[in-house]
Structure 1
Amino acid sequence: MVFSLAAALACGNALANEARAPGRSVDELLDLARSTNPTVRAAQQEAAAARERVQPAGALPDPMLKIELMDVTNMGTTSVRLSPAQVGSTQYTFSQQLPFWGKRDLRRDVAESGARVAEFTAEDMTQELLALVKRGYAQYWQVTRLQEVTQELGSLGEKMEQVARSRYASGLVAQQDVIRAQLELTSLKQEQIQLDNERQTMRAMLNGLLARGPQAPLAEPEQLRSIPSPAALQMDALVDRLRGRNPQLSAELAKTLGAEKSRDLTYRNRMPDLNLGIVPVQRGSSVNEWQLMFEVNLPLQFDSRRSQEREAERMLDAARARAESTASRLIGELGGSLAALDASRRIEAITASTLLPQTEATFQSALAGYETGRVDFATLIDAQRAIRKARQDLIKARADQQARLADIERLIGEQL
């Protein structure tokens, strides 16, 4: 009695944990991934840190204070003195460096481009994570549905074995038919074990993306997201969305803008920076003299500066080429994903509407024919395997559509 009560309580706790666990829909897992994945949080913090660099990049340098003690021995009449009131004179130089007009804005623009790159990189990592969750959930759903199909086919296999035993007992068929039926059941059991292992692997993978323990409970996947209509998957419209929102391409464009600003800053460095200062002079205990200081650097290293300018030009050319290459690659991937999604959609349609009904009708006909002795057991086995393949193909086609949709959404940077 005690053991029965403990088992009932354990079963109840397991069911309660399963009921509270996420995973019934992919949207639950996506929301959880956004908030818990440490890689995404790290990228977001790095982007926030890069944003904090923008204001200092355009700020003036800190002012400088220089103190000069003049004639510390009072023309050799005293020992060394370090008190401003006891030396010949003391100069206090307050100076401020003033970059040439436009340099501060360009430095701020370069830092702004760097911050944008970091933000787009964080967004790209988020989109990659969401795509992995979507694909993982599709595989998790696929394995779960394949397990259900295998169990259903196991029931058919048991029925086939019973028919073979009955006919063998009546002396109508050879014992080989019973053995082949048992072999088919054993094969289904092996497949069930493999699918259970795949299910555990997918659960551990999904939990890893959610920063959870590998054995953390996940609910049974109940449904897949609906696939957009072909009208919503027009290539031209998706390419426009890709160009406007893909974080990889946006990061490359931000790098290009940063390279342009760096080039402009390099050319602006031909102009000198200024350094202004005011110098009060103390003699004894009072300040009775004021001086003004004007300082300018002389950009006379022409060869060095020309090399820096050519470097900036080449870096800008490289950034533009990378942006163009990235756009071409992403558009190519988008075209491939769309083609694969269309193929999976057509496979699902023909399997569900034609192939699966045909295989089921063939199996029922073969079973009836075997019971009456009109067909042999090999024909019945082939019909049963055809049903299994058709059902598996239907499930795989639906899961593949979800994976292709995840790829498309990652490329365009948003959900459809």
Structure 2
Amino acid sequence: MKTLHTFALLLLLAVSPSMVWAEEGKPPAEDLSRLIATALDKNPELKSSQARWQMFANRVKQASALEDPMFMFKLQNLMAKEPFAFDKDPQTSKVIGISQQLPFWGKRAIKQEVAQYEAESYKWAIEERKLELARMVKETYYQIYAVDKFLQIIDKNLQILTDFITIAESKYSVGQGVQQDIYKAGLEKSKMLDMQITLKQQRRSLEANLNYLLYRPDTTPIGRIPDFDLPKPSLTAERLKEAAFAKRPQVKSLISLANKGDASRRLAQKEYYPDFNLSFEYMFREAVNTEMIKDPGDNMFTVGVTFNLPLQRERRQAMVAEATSETNMSLEELNGLKNSITYSIHDILAQLERRQKLVELYKGGIIPQAEQSLESAIISYRVNKVDFLTLLDGRVNLFNYERELYDSQAEYMMKLAQLEALVGGELPGPAGQTPALTAVK
């Protein structure tokens, strides 16, 4: 019986830390690309950003349109004692007229330009929001992956501790062990159960967060996250920086705002020139034939132009200064963003390299060695060459190393998602045409 327990424990330890659930009853695998597509299609915050862009896009045509012409009708010089008598005095007439406000040459085109650049900034804000949303979906996805792997490790360790208890009880029953070993194994098992409860709560929270991003009921179950290889960026930091400056929507948004500020400055300078109002009036007169006045009542018309006098120079100087400050603000924000991108690229690449090396180290060296060490400790414990604490230490070490492995894998993919969002989408390849990702086994 003792030999059977030992053999079962060694067989369990021989299973790779990347073991998967049995095919029968296994939850369906989640497709990351489908989850991202759902989020981009349904997320209400993204739809709100799209509606805001449409709102500003519809202002472009408004900005260049002329003001509506003004129609005028009036009864002129009516006599107070006979207000509806039009044939008593030659000055009495019926007048219709029309007028049109005309801005100084070039103002309409610049106003349209200002509105166009502002609308473009909101359009690029949508693309930036899409990148952020995709990044958040990916990060949550890989966090769920790590939690699932931790739960699998805990399930495996609970079985190991159960077998430890069985071995300790067997040794105690024949007088070769102490009861304290049984209690220690039971305490370790209780700690594992405590971690299991916490991890299950974390998974429920992560499921709720992912469903929130996808705008679907928070009780929608999240299936199994499949295993993956680690893709490795093949571009240098300098190439990634160039790609980010060329593709990042937030960079383009700030460039649009800087262009808007420049156009606003040119528009403010146009305010030093007057706007015009053209008018035309036509006067209908009736013949007057009285004892004192005889007038044939010929119709008349009036053509006129009026314009404002741009004398308020302080106000116009302030308008130019405001537009200049707007441009400077956008340019400095752009410089700050580029500086942040440069730093973040170097930082993320360093973290990716560290996580990649850790994964290779854990898979190729530490975990196999820890498994062998634990197997040796089990055998030695059975023949009383090591104490029970050595056995527990070996299990704890293997448990921690396996957790670090899956944590490094998940963290690597999350950092890669951050790098893609930083650069502005899929990473360009060495020639700028193929993806700059190569799989690392």
Q: Normalising to structure 2: TM-score of the pair?
A: 0.84
1:331 to 333, 342, 346: 342
CA contact (8 A) 1:37 1:209 kept: yes
> 1:187, 1:62 → 2: CA distance?
78
2:371 corresponds to 1:360 = yes
What secondary structure does 1:316 align onto?
A: helix
1:369 to 364, 371, 380: 380
Tell me the equivalent position of 1:174.
Answer: 178
Offset at 1:288?
2.5
2:63 corresponds to 1:57 = yes
1:404 to 415, 419, 422: 415
Tell me the equivalent position of 2:251.
Answer: 249
1:280 to 279, 282, 289: 282
> 2:40, 2:323 → 1: CA distance?
38
Offset at 1:284?
4.3
- Cα 1:386–1:92 change in 2 (3 A) is same
- Cα 1:273–1:227 change in 2 (3 A) is farther
2:234 corresponds to 1:231 = yes
1:45 to 19, 41, 51: 51
Question: Which ranges of 4 or more aligned residues in structure 1 deviate by more than 6 Å?
Answer: none
Shifted more, 136-145 versus 275-284: the winner is: 275-284
Tell me the equivalent position of 2:190.
Answer: 186
Tell me the equivalent position of 2:323.
Answer: 312
Counterpart AA for 1:152: K
CA contact (8 A) 1:227 1:405 kept: no
CA contact (8 A) 2:230 2:409 kept: no
> 2:68, 2:347 → 1: CA distance?
55
Identity value in percent: 26
> 2:237, 2:408 → 1: CA distance?
21
Tell me the equivalent position of 1:6.
Answer: none
Counterpart AA for 2:419: I
2:117 corresponds to 1:106 = no
Tell me the equivalent position of 1:67.
Answer: 73
Tell me the equivalent position of 1:11.
Answer: none
Number of residue pairs aligned between Structure 1 and Structure 2: 391
CA contact (8 A) 1:280 1:287 kept: no
Counterpart AA for 1:231: S
2:227 corresponds to 1:216 = no
Tell me the equivalent position of 1:298.
Answer: 309
2:217 corresponds to 1:206 = no
Counterpart AA for 1:70: Q
Question: Within 5 A, what are the aligned runs for 1:121-160?
Answer: 121-160=125-164
Is there any run of 5+ residues in structure 2 with no aligned partner, and where?
1-24, 288-296, 428-441
> 1:318, 1:61 → 2: CA distance?
32
CA contact (8 A) 1:33 1:209 kept: yes
> 1:70, 1:334 → 2: CA distance?
76
Between Structure 1 and Structure 2, whose CA radius of gyration is higher?
2
Counterpart AA for 2:161: G
> 2:55, 2:321 → 1: CA distance?
31
Offset at 1:69?
1.8
2:351 corresponds to 1:340 = yes
> 1:287, 1:182 → 2: CA distance?
117
Q: Normalising to structure 1: TM-score of the pair?
A: 0.89
Counterpart AA for 1:134: K
Post-superposition CA distance 1:230-263 (Å, at most 9, x none): 424x211111121112222221111101000000
Post-superposition CA distance 1:69-109 (Å, at most 9, x none): 20122xx4403679xxx992122221112212211111011
- Cα 1:183–1:364 change in 2 (3 A) is same
2:273 to 263, 271, 274: 271
> 1:394, 1:335 → 2: CA distance?
23
Post-superposition CA distance 1:296-321 (Å, at most 9, x none): 22212222222322232233222221
Tell me the equivalent position of 1:381.
Answer: 392
What secondary structure does 2:283 align onto?
A: strand
Offset at 1:365?
0.6
> 2:52, 2:298 → 1: CA distance?
50
Shifted more, 91-100 versus 287-296: the winner is: 287-296
What secondary structure does 1:294 align onto?
A: strand
Shifted more, 172-181 versus 330-339: the winner is: 330-339
> 1:388, 1:287 → 2: CA distance?
108
What secondary structure does 1:353 align onto?
A: helix
Counterpart AA for 1:132: M
> 1:81, 1:317 → 2: CA distance?
66
Counterpart AA for 1:184: E
CA contact (8 A) 1:95 1:278 kept: yes
- Cα 1:79–1:92 change in 2 (3 A) is closer
> 2:426, 2:230 → 1: CA distance?
11
Tell me the equivalent position of 2:434.
Answer: none
Query: What's the Cα RMSD here?
Result: 2.1
Tell me the equivalent position of 1:7.
Answer: none
What secondary structure does 1:65 align onto?
A: strand
What secondary structure does 1:218 align onto?
A: coil
> 1:223, 1:281 → 2: CA distance?
87
What secondary structure does 1:221 align onto?
A: coil
